[in-house]
Amino acid sequence: MGTADRDAIGMPARVARLPTGPRGPVAAARARMRAMATAKSPPTTATGTPAAAQPKPAAKAAPELSAPQRALQRMGLVRAIDLALHLPLRYEDETEVLAIADTHPGDKVQVEGTVTQCRVETRARRQLVVNLQDDAGDLLTLRFLNFYPSHQKAFAVGQRVRVRGELRGGFFGLEMMHPSFKAITPGAPLPSELTPVYPAAAQLPQPYLRKVISSALARAPLQEVLPPGIVPAQLPSLREALHTLHHPPAGVSQLSLEEGSHPAAQRLKFEELLAQQLSQLKARAERDRLRGPQIRAAADGLPTRLRAALPWGLTAAQDRVVAEITQDLAGPRPMHRLLQGDVGAGKTVVAALAAAVAMDAGWQCALMAPTEILAEQHFAKLVQWLEPLGIQVGWLTGSRKGKARKETLARVASGEAQLVVGTHAVIQDEVTFAKLGLAIVDEQHRFGVQQRLALRQKLALQGLEPHLLMMTATPIPRTLAMTYFADLDVSTIDELPPGRTPILTKVFADTRRDDVTARIADEVARGRQVYWVCPLIEESESGDERMAELQNVTDTHARLSEALAPVPVGLLHGRMPPAEKAEVMGRFKAGELPVLVATTVIEVGVDVPNASLMVIEHAERFGLAQLHQLRGRVGRGAAASVCVLMYAGPLSPTGKDRLRAMAETTDGFEIARRDLEIRGPGEFMGARQSGDALLRFADLAEDAPLLARARGVAAELLERHPAAAAAHVERWLGGRTEWLKA
């Protein structure tokens, strides 16, 4: 297992990390394999429906499937095209045999010779030692620390063998440890192609994979669907490209294949990028045909009165995004806009103003947040701002049951509740709106793609789709937005309200816990408040791990309570009943609890301006975006705030990079950029919960010229050759195009 695997274990399941490094098709394939190894559902295939939608394999697999066949199915390698697009991780060059005399220690080579001796040595460590002599009479020693009787049989004295491995200079001359080997008859021809090594799984031996992939390649439908002039001239056909990637001829640059600069690799990347650009254009064309309510803001209406009632003026950036949203609402198409703004940038008031425009014109609005705590804060703030102006605000969450729920549902259905705030309970089946004009989703990345699709489908009324505003503090770098979010307009709040003092971030080993505790006592003595965050293990983890989480947070709570006595310390975690959570949160907000020990339930949105110290335990287990969100819980008032990232050492190199990035910048956009750099786009987008990265081969940063070309030709292709465009999208994305619209 490499570092990346080890890191992944310590990470929350949803953000398991992949290796960085070269990102050609081969490297990308490698990354994919790691993802598969940890994925909960089978991966999406490149050309078909999401594998999850295919019949569940494993458990109900027909008995006639062999173990390797079942392994293929689990990897989503079902159809010929799936196998044809399953590219090698790397290659082995068995096309050349060197004379032992021409080799040097450190070389990775293949040599051929006759076994002169084979014996088991027990000195130091038990090992099999084989002596080999080539035709020129030079000698090589082979050593195997792990060996079976089959090895001894293969290396019978007098047998001719070809061995491949790395040479080293031993005390008794040249040696190879654990070479790969093959018994041959004298004069057996050398392969004329590099030998592919595929991403595999247990029970999927390479020779088997090579055979099935090779035969699938011959029968996969790889006819050219693109008209001339679309693919860059210097690139081979898809069939040729795949043939080269699976069976590279001897003498080809292995590096160019592995890095993805070889024309064959470029062709694959171009195909993939083109499919994405096409599906985005189609999604945009589809939305152009939709109609949303056309809402115009009146001059002295509700928005104007709300602004006048605020204790502060909007920042220039807030003003600008409000204008962008207002313009969208007035247009004929339903808005589909992402509002990005760093933590604390003031997105809530923008949402309130957007809602005010819609409500003023007689439309209902819905605001959804991913957690109950966050929804409740929105509710409190919106009630405070809007009720004095005569607006009725409804409250809907999963835990609101019985009569209260019935009443709210009735008020929503009648239109009496003009604004409804809650969790995803707001989009459940039994909720019907009288006249929904605008839906606002906070921290949209925390909502599953499916939920967002459901939202858009269910809210459509009389042929009108409601406007949709999504808000996030986890900005999406532009290249990613272009590729992953079809048809999405983006507004950005790029300045913080005045008067904020930047947060100072410190990285400590957890052996300095006592220093940190002393610091907490100081802060409390000055009338400030403190968060202490422990990692949250996801629902998907085993029962034991969830117990461990609980143990961790309750232990920390007990320890801090004792150390800080008589200062009261609050405790908040996901397993507490909602009413209890609300009570603890309420006491913290009111300042009755100076210290709060919590899991990541407080990750987003929680707004307590008096809090000035944030301690994050096991910071190495969090994703950068998550750390940034957590850190954003402090620094919300005028007091200078500190965030302490405590780690349990030793840190992996990427772990160090990540914590350093956090300490060096508080700019969410810069953090997103570094996160992308450290983790790679596949994984970065994992935060979307879309299951799989949509790009398997191309890399947005490295392949910018190809992306530009794909963008350039996509519109023309769609217009002049719609059938070819459709065939191409189907081949590459199949049933996955829906995902691009979410």
Q: Which residues bind ligand ADP (CB under 6 A)?
A: 312, 314-315, 318, 341, 343-349, 473, 497, 607, 609, 636
In the bound complex, what is the minimum distance in angstroms from residue 623's beta carbon to ligand ADP? 18
| 3-state SS, residue 222 | coil
**200 DSSP β-pair partners:** none
The secondary element (H helix, E strand) that includes residue 91 is strand 90-92
Q: Which is nearer to ligand ADP, 20 or 492 (CB)?
A: 492
Which one, of 442, 400, 394, 437, lies nearest residue 604 by Cα?
Answer: 442
- Cα distance between residue 698 and residue 23, in whole Å: 8
Q: Could you say which of ligand ADP, Mg ion, none residue 341 binds, taking C-beta under 5 to 8 angstroms by partner kind? A: ligand ADP
Site for Mg ion in 550-609 (CB under 5 A): 605
Picked from ligand ADP, Mg ion, none, the partner binding residue 170 (CB below 5 to 8 A depending on kind) is: none
Residues near Mg ion (CB under 5 A), total: 1
Cβ-closest position to Mg ion: 605
We find the least distance from the C-beta atom of residue 379 to Mg ion, in angstroms, to be 13
Identify what 528 binds: Mg ion, ligand ADP, none; CB under 5 to 8 Å per kind: none
Decide whether 84 or 349 has the Cβ nearer to ligand ADP.
349
What does 343 interact with, of ligand ADP, Mg ion, none (CB < 5 to 8 A by kind)? ligand ADP
- The Cα 614–Cα 630 span in angstroms is 8
- State how beta strands 336-341 and 436-442 pair: unpaired
Q: How far is the CB of 393 from Mg ion (least distance, A)?
A: 17
DSSP state of 594: S
Q: Closer to ligand ADP by CB, 73 or 348: give it.
A: 348
Q: CB of residue 399 vs ligand ADP: minimum separation in angstroms?
A: 23
Cis peptide leading into residue 566 (ω within 30°): yes
Q: Where are the beta strands (DSSP E) in 459-552?
A: 467-472, 489-493, 504-509, 529-533
CA 195 to chain centroid: 32
Q: CB-based burial of residue 332 (10 Å sphere; 0-12 exposed, 13-18 middle, 19+ buried)?
A: exposed
Q: Which residue, judged by CB position, is nearest to ligand ADP in the bound state?
A: 346
The site partner of 360 among Mg ion, ligand ADP, none (C-beta below 5 to 8 Å per kind) is: none
Q: How far is the CB of 384 from ligand ADP (least distance, A)?
A: 10
- Residue 641 binding target from ligand ADP, Mg ion, none, CB below 5 to 8 Å by type: none
Question: Is position 635 an interface residue for Mg ion (rule: CB under 5 A)?
Answer: no
Distance of CA 736 to the CA centre of its chain: 17
CB of 314 to ligand ADP, least distance (A): 5
Residue 415, binding choice from ligand ADP, Mg ion, none, Cβ under 5 to 8 Å by partner class: none
With CB under 5 to 8 Å by kind, the binding choice for 666 among Mg ion, ligand ADP, none is: none
Q: State in angstroms the smallest separation of the CB of 537 from Mg ion.
A: 25
Of 347 and 557, nearer to ligand ADP (C-beta) is 347
C-beta separation of 307 from 386 below 8 A: no
Distance of closest approach, residue 381 Cβ to ligand ADP, in angstroms: 7
Nearer to ligand ADP, 477 or 609 (CB): 609
Given ligand ADP, Mg ion, none, residue 345, with its beta carbon under 5 to 8 Å by kind, binds: ligand ADP
CB of 389 to ligand ADP, least distance (A): 17
- Rounded CA separation 715/506 (Å): 49
Residue 237 Cβ vs ligand ADP, minimum distance, rounded to whole Å? 50
Q: Which is nearer to ligand ADP, 384 or 551 (CB)?
A: 384
* Whole-number Å distance between alpha carbons of 134 and 113: 4
Distance CA 271, CA 268 (A): 5
Q: How far apart are CA 389 and CA 382, in angstroms?
A: 11
Whichever of 605 and 635 has its CB closer to Mg ion, that residue is 605
Whole-number minimum distance, CB 581 to ligand ADP, in Å? Answer: 19
Cα–Cα distance, 312 to 499 (Å, whole number): 12
Nearer to Mg ion, 29 or 496 (CB): 496
Joined tokens for residue 235: 């690139």
**Residue with smaller CB distance to Mg ion, 394 or 605:** 605
Contacted entry of ligand ADP, Mg ion, none for residue 441, CB cut-off 5 to 8 Å set by kind: none
Q: Which is nearer to Mg ion, 279 or 340 (CB)?
A: 340
- Shortest distance (Å) from residue 446 CB to ligand ADP: 13
Quick one: what does residue 315 bind among Mg ion, ligand ADP, none, with the CB cut-off 5 to 8 Å set by partner type?
ligand ADP
Within 97-136, which residues bind Mg ion (CB under 5 A)? Answer: none
From residue 411, give the alpha-carbon distance in Å to each of 163, 414, 431, 438, 459: 78, 5, 10, 17, 17
Interacting partner of 573 out of ligand ADP, Mg ion, none (Cβ under 5 to 8 A depending on kind): none
184 secondary structure, DSSP code? -
Residue with tokens 């115009």: 296
Nearer of residues 604 and 710 to Mg ion, judged by Cβ: 604
Cβ proximity to ligand ADP, 113 vs 475, nearer residue: 475
AA identity, residue 187: G
Please choose which of Mg ion, ligand ADP, none residue 623 contacts, taking the beta carbon within 5 to 8 angstroms, the exact cut-off set by kind.
none
Please state the closest distance from residue 61 (CB atom) to ligand ADP, in A: 48
Task: Report the residue number, 25 or 605, with the smaller CB distance to Mg ion.
Answer: 605
**Closest approach of Cβ 604 to ligand ADP, in Å?**
8
Nearer to Mg ion, 50 or 605 (CB): 605
Which of 292, 281, 280 has its CA nearest to residue 468? Answer: 292
What letter represents residue 459's amino acid? L
End-to-end Cα spacing for the chain: 35
Q: Which is nearer to ligand ADP, 210 or 500 (CB)?
A: 500
What amino acid occupies position 257?
L
Q: How open is the CA angle 173-175-180, to the nearest 5 degrees?
A: 160
Q: Which of residues 386-425 bind Mg ion (CB under 5 A)?
A: none
Which among Mg ion, ligand ADP, none contacts residue 636 (Cβ within 5 to 8 A by kind)? Answer: ligand ADP
Minimum distance of ligand ADP from residue 622's CB (angstroms): 18
Contacts of 494 (CB under 8 A, 6+ apart): 317, 341
Which amino acid would we find at residue 55? P
Cβ pair 696, 35 in contact under 8 A: no
- In the 3-class helix/strand/coil scheme, how is 370-409 assigned residue by residue? CCHHHHHHHHHHHHHHHHHHCCCEEEECCCCCHHHHHHHH
The string of DSSP codes covering 299-364 is: TTSHHHHHHHHSSSPPPHHHHHHHHHHHHHHHSSSPPEEEEEE-TTS-HHHHHHHHHHHHHHTT-E
Please, what is the Cα angle at 343 between 340 and 347, to 5 degrees?
55
Would you say 531 and 634 are in contact if contact means Cβ atoms under 8 Å apart? yes
Write the interaction track for Mg ion spanning residues 444-473; mark x where CB under 5 A is met and - where it is not: ------------------------------
Binding site for Mg ion (CB under 5 A): 605
